[in-house]
Amino acid sequence: MNDTTEKVAVCPGSYDPVTNGHLDIITRASRTFDRVVVGVVNQPIRKKKTLFTADERIAFIENATAELGNVEVRAFYTLLVEFARDMGANAIVKGLRAISDFEYENEMAQLNYKLDPGVESIYVFARPEYSFLSSTGVKEMATFNGDIGDLVPAEVAAALADRLGRS
């Protein structure tokens, strides 16, 4: 699996689509951990059908993190703590934007701790320029031709325009 001194984190999410805020959290985690596994939820429970397939979302993240040598991207279909264990992770890293994120994430952290106290939940505060940013908001802006160029990687902006039939 991995040697006991290696610090491995999982950064889970639906990433539909990945935003610059997500990429900031992944990049910051990559500076702290020896290895970061970005876990792309195949089909999120809390959300309806995704706009992009898991393979498309994985490709977007792989392209955006290509310069980060200790980041890998994988889809997962299980409980998060099971995925973390399978990846040899001792931490789950997520971003927090607002109080509403805290309330939900606190509940998830407690449930994950109950399932596996050996996998620590670590939260990173969003930088101010990303504190409002969500995949849902980006999709809504893109639907009405809003400028999302500084919110997502260029490849994602183009794919959103194409998928939503916008120019």
Active site residues: 22, 48, 97, 135
Q: How far apart are CA 1 and CA 5, in angstroms?
A: 12
Q: In the numeric block, which tokens belong to residue 19?
A: 């935003």
Q: How far apart are CA 49 and CA 53, in angstroms?
A: 9
Q: How many CB atoms lie within 10 A of CB 36?
A: 29
Please give the distance of CA 11 from its chain centroid, rounded to a whole number: 5
Short-list 43, 45, 57, 58, CA closest to 108: 45
Backbone dihedral angles phi then psi of residue 74, each to the nearest 5 degrees? -140, 145
